Amino acid sequence: MAAACTYPFLLSLIFAFFVLNSASSEADILLTFKASIEDSSNYLSSWSNASASSYCNWTGIACISTPSRFVTNINLQSLNLSGEISPSICQLSYLTHLNLADNLFNQPIPLHLSQCSTLETLNLSNNLIWGTIPDQISQFGSLKVLDFSGNHVEGKIPESVGSLTNLQVLNLGRNLLSGIVPSVFGNFTELVVLDLSQNAFLGSELPSDIGKLEKLEQLLLQSSGFHGEIPNSFLGLRNLTILDLSQNNLSGKVPQTLGSSLEKLVSFDVSQNMLLGPFLDGICNGKGLINLSLHTNFFTGSITNSINQCINLERFQVQNNGLSGEFPNALWSLPKIKLIRAENNRFSGEIPDTVSMAAQLEQVQLDNNSFSSRIPQGLGLVKSLYRFSASLNGLYGELPPNFCDSPVMSIVNLSHNSLSGQIPELKKCRKLVSLSLADNSLAGEIPPSLADLPVLTYLDLSGNSLTGPIPQELQNLKLALFNVSFNKLSGRVPDSLISGLPASFLEGNPGLCGPGLPHSCSDGQPTHHTLGLTALTCALISVAFGLGILILAAGFFVYHRRSKQKCQMGSWRLVFFYPLRVTEHDLVMGMNEKSAVGSGGAFGRVHILGLPSGELVAVKKLVNYGSHSSKSLKAEIKTLAKIRHRNIVKILGFCHSDDSIFLIYEFLQKGSLGDLIHRPDFELQWGVRLRIAIGVAQGLAYLQKDYVPHLLHRNVKSNNILLDEDFEPKLTDFALDRILGEAAFQSTMASESVLSCYNAPEYGYCKKASEQMDVYSFGVVLLELVTGRQAEQAEPTESIDIVKWVRRRVNISNGASQVLDPKISESFQKEMLGALEIALQCTSVMPEKRPSMFEVVRALQSLPSTGFSVSIQFQSEH
Ligand SMILES: *[C@@H]1O[C@H](CO)[C@@H](O)[C@H](O)[C@H]1NC(C)=O
Ligand SMILES: *[C@@H]1O[C@H](CO)[C@@H](O)[C@H](O)[C@H]1NC(C)=O
Ligand SMILES: *[C@@H]1O[C@H](CO)[C@@H](O)[C@H](O)[C@H]1NC(C)=O
Ligand SMILES: *[C@@H]1O[C@H](CO)[C@@H](O)[C@H](O)[C@H]1NC(C)=O
Ligand SMILES: *[C@@H]1O[C@H](CO)[C@@H](O)[C@H](O)[C@H]1NC(C)=O
Ligand SMILES: *[C@@H]1O[C@H](CO)[C@@H](O)[C@H](O)[C@H]1NC(C)=O
Ligand SMILES: *[C@@H]1O[C@H](CO)[C@@H](O)[C@H](O)[C@H]1NC(C)=O
Ligand SMILES: *[C@@H]1O[C@H](CO)[C@@H](O)[C@H](O)[C@H]1NC(C)=O
Ligand SMILES: *[C@@H]1O[C@H](CO)[C@@H](O)[C@H](O)[C@H]1NC(C)=O
Ligand SMILES: *[C@@H]1O[C@H](CO)[C@@H](O)[C@H](O)[C@H]1NC(C)=O
């Protein structure tokens, strides 16, 4: 106790000392602060004695001008700073905001900053702060925003945090806090954001006094070991917009005293516990939730129709609990609902026709419940729906003919239900990738029109009562999975389906015949009556394709001439990030046919130029769509040029005119991985291939997570992986979207690669690029390394991409070892199978099933030592 009292006393003495000496100017205070900081990357070079008079213009500094130029804000985030955070800064008598986030400060919580009496915001997120939160944290009583997230702070949250009564934001997420969360929140009357998420060692009930925080808008407590029930008091959280309690050990029971709100509930099934019902009722009275995430807990009970008050709800996630009762019909007609996830519960009830009113609905997952209803016509009217899965339920009746009419519908899984009737003609499902109707009671014939769905890749019709032949037209599809086992099909199986698919996908149809099947076909069996039609279609496609090329060529010619003219007018501007001795003129003149290498991707050709100094550089020529002003173009490219990673190609500078942008990259000896794989004598050791894979994965992980701003590559393919003389891989052509602008980037990608097999299946329908898309493309590269095949390769009979090629084979028992590159010794088989497994996970159709790049790095790195035991089963899709 005595120590706790003397400490503040000592501090105030020190403080008084500083104040008395505060004759020093603001600039001197800042320079003293800088002196204890290690600025290895020299980002604070503007902070110098020489420019002391203009300290308000120093990096990260903002001042007020009245009464005088006093420093109010210091924002030094993401500058790779380390060293000591010195309390000298507290002599700035107007300092209000201090942001040191995303640096490398490696020390305990800098308690001495509590001397900064005017400080309102302290942001130390994403550093290496360690140790416990001391009781003296209470000295930060004036703070409004305290952010320690993403550090290594451990131990209990002390009761003394309760004195921080001015807090509006408290973020202690992503640390190593443990123990019980004290009940001190009643004091936080101003709190708007509370984040204690991802503290895996907390073992606590939810403090009930959180419910007193009337202003609270965001409550983020996910993945933090909370157990017990949601306290009744949470009904008081009327301003909540985001509630995330997912991935804890929470459970639900009937609250003992529900007071008057219980009256509302009598009409519902009182045999079930009611916790979630009135709970949601309460919190949607005010502003209304936007994101509600309760998934992966042990909640039981039901959710009542009072959810209809949550008119702002967009994301509803209650999957993986033990919830039961009627699924609330009201949810389906909430005006803003986008995501409904309720799989793996025991809900009953129906999918009502009013689902057609959910105009924003994108994704529905209801698998493994007890829904029993028809599939409503209304479903086909929701224009934004791209995923609907309701497998393992009791859905019955016929499939409405419009069930996949949404123009973006991509994944439908209705397997393990009781659907009957025929499979309707599906004409509109232009984006359908995966259709599973397995284990129902569907009858009739397989409609040949399925073959007209341009991107259908996974088709599972097994376990029904389908009759008639397998339509010949299905050969036109690039099916990776086609399962019709255990039906009543008959007739000749189309040749390419027999040769390309495992026999198990045809079994259980005694009437089917063909080579390799139990029955060979007698002559009377119907033959390929549609062959003529197929040939005609092919011919038409070729003509259309030819025309397309002509148009492209004409366009290129026109463009080419225009840019030539511009060149001569000499309006080029050159910017270097490295000392290069070359002029605009040298560059522009050097970009000729002779210096060009490769055919160039959609974005433009690469030229290799020798500089007067003898150095070689690679120059990529892009079209300048004018998406940026000259200044912001420079800023964007500078962002990319600042990246320093051994697996990412350096940008040395650029040169641009109104028409073109030349990006100057470092030159790498060995060319691209794509060129190498393309060669008939491609023969890299397994060890080298694995090193390439790990390097590429590390480069991507760095771009996505470590580099600030986080970047997506968006064009990962083996042609964009360059190799240095030691075969160290380096990614190039990254984040071109930032240079070209999103619209131009997308249309350029589309012009070449709608069908590029490096693109994830969701590429067509997801508006936003995602990390998972990069992961998919990486998986394709990994498949190339494991199999030694090019991603896109024309087979003698068919052109098929590598993902499908591999998937088809690993479905067969022992098929996995057959896809491995035969040029590599069998002694590496275990490791290669491990890498294959990772590649298959990366190329999963479902984005959320793909691992993160960090997980991929770790998995690849652990391959040689562990040996990995693999069991590959495509259907479970990992
Ligand atoms: C960050 O600083 C460390 C040393 O503290 C240095 O090795 C590293 O290169 C720096 N990174 C950047 C991006 O400046
Ligand atoms: C800045 O320069 C003054 C004299 O010009 C000197 O007294 C002072 O120590 C210098 N400050 C720093 C931090 O170098
Ligand atoms: C700070 O920068 C602004 C604009 O960049 C300029 O107008 C001002 O003169 C600078 N102040 C000092 C003291 O250099
Ligand atoms: C702290 O800084 C980080 C990095 O700029 C930012 O993402 C975060 O939102 C800030 N925290 C608060 C509470 O403003
Ligand atoms: C609430 O704050 C007051 C003064 O700020 C303090 O004395 C009290 O201990 C705090 N209550 C809790 C529960 O922390
Ligand atoms: C809830 O939020 C609204 C608007 O953001 C605000 O006006 C209101 O005061 C808040 N309610 C409470 C109890 O703080
Ligand atoms: C949930 O509780 C179980 C034991 O009941 C424990 O093993 C597990 O770690 C807990 N999970 C979390 C997220 O706390
Ligand atoms: C809700 O969650 C989604 C996905 O996590 C996120 O993009 C969105 O910003 C969240 N909404 C709000 C209001 O934070
Ligand atoms: C279905 O959900 C239950 C929990 O309600 C779970 O125990 C079971 O494993 C799930 N079944 C499948 C096939 O996922
Ligand atoms: C469809 O659902 C079943 C049962 O939940 C599951 O086993 C299967 O993997 C799913 N198929 C696809 C393609 O998602």
pLDDT digits (tens, 9 = 90+) for 362-399: 999 999 999 999 999 999 999 999 999 999 999 999 99
**Best residue among 147, 148, 195 to mutate for probing ligand 4, ranked by most atoms within 8 Å of CB:** 147
Counting residues of the chain whose pLDDT is more than 90, the rounded percentage is 48
Q: Supply the residue whose CA is at minimum distance from atom 14 of ligand 5.
A: 162
pLDDT value at 524 more than 70: no
pTM of the complete model beyond 0.75: no
| Residue entry with tokens 């129902």 | 440
Question: β-strands 488-492, 465-468: how paired?
Answer: parallel
Residue nearest to atom 4 of ligand 2 (CA): 49
346 lines ligand 9 (CB under 6 A): yes
Looking at all shown ligands, the one closest to residue 69's CA atom is 3
Of the given ranges (459-463, 523-527, 769-773), which has the lowest mean pLDDT? 523-527
Residue 31 has a pLDDT of: 95
Distance 18 CA to ligand 3 centre (A): 29
Pocket test for ligand 8, best of 197, 216, 315 (most atoms within 8 A of CB): 315
Predicted confidence at residue 868, as pLDDT, reads 38
What confidence score (pLDDT) does residue 191 get? Answer: 97
Give the mean pLDDT of 564-589.
66
The pLDDT-based confidence of 292 (bands split at 50, 70, 90) is confident
Nearest CA to ligand 4 atom 1: 123
* Residue type at 487 in one-letter notation: N
The interaxial angle of helices 853-861 and 829-842, nearest 10 deg, is 170
556: part of which helix (H) or strand (E)? helix 531-569
Which of 37, 39, 41 to mutate to test ligand 1, by most ligand atoms within 8 A of the CB atom?
Answer: 41
Average pLDDT, the chain: 82
Task: Choose the residue to mutate in 49, 58, 86, 91 for probing ligand 2, maximizing ligand atoms within 8 Å of C-beta.
Answer: 49
- The domain ranges of the chain are 570-667, 669-878
Q: Whole-angstrom Cα distance, residue 80 to residue 147?
A: 18
Mean pLDDT of 126-141: 92
276: pLDDT confidence band, cut at 50, 70 and 90?
low
Helix or strand or coil: residue 658? coil
- Pocket flag, ligand 7, residue 397 (CB < 6 Å): no
Q: How far is the CA of 214 from the centre of ligand 6 (A)?
A: 8
Report whether CATH 1.10.3720.10 matches the domain 669-878: no
Q: Where in 214-321 does DSSP place strands (E)?
A: 218-220, 226-228, 242-244, 249-250, 291-293, 300-301, 315-317
Indicate whether 871 pLDDT > 70: no
Nearest CA to ligand 7 atom 4: 249
CA 500 / ligand 6 centre spacing (Å): 62
Ligand 3 atom closest to Cα of 54?
13
Q: How do residues 72-97 score in pLDDT, each as one tens digit? A: 999 999 999 999 999 999 999 999 99
Closest CA to 670 of 600, 729, 723: 723
- For 455-473, the pLDDT digits (tens) are 888 899 999 999 999 999 9
Predicted pLDDT of residue 480: 78
Query: Which residues on neighbouring strands pair with residue 801, listed in sequence order?
Result: 792
**C-beta of 706 in contact with ligand 1 (< 6 A):** no
Of the listed ligands, the closest to the CA of 65 is: 3
- Domain 570-667: CATH superfamily is Phosphorylase Kinase; domain 1 (3.30.200.20)
**In the structure, what pLDDT confidence band is assigned to residue 285 with cuts at 50, 70 and 90?**
low
Tokens of 776: 């998919």
> Phi-psi region for residue 166, left (φ > 0), alpha (ψ -120 to 50) or beta?
alpha
> Which of 230-234, 516-520, 522-526, 537-541 is the least confident region?
537-541
Ligand 8 midpoint to CA 291 (Å): 6
Is the minimum distance from the CB of 123 to ligand 4 under 6 angstroms?
Answer: yes
What 8-state DSSP symbol labels residue 497?
H
Please tell me the distance from the alpha carbon of residue 694 to that of residue 863, in angstroms, as a whole number. Answer: 11
Of the pLDDT bands very low, low, confident and very high (cuts 50, 70, 90), residue 631 is confident
Q: How far is the CA of 240 from the centre of ligand 6 (A)?
A: 10
Q: What is the pLDDT of residue 817?
A: 85
pLDDT digits (tens, 9 = 90+) for 25-70: 899 999 999 999 999 999 999 999 999 989 999 999 999 987 788 9
Q: Which atom of ligand 9 is least distant from the CA of 344?
A: 2
pLDDT in tens, 93-129: 999 999 999 999 999 999 999 999 999 999 999 999 9
At 414, the pLDDT band (50, 70, 90 cuts) reads very high
Q: Tell me, yes or no, if the two domains 570-667 and 669-878 fold the same way.
A: no
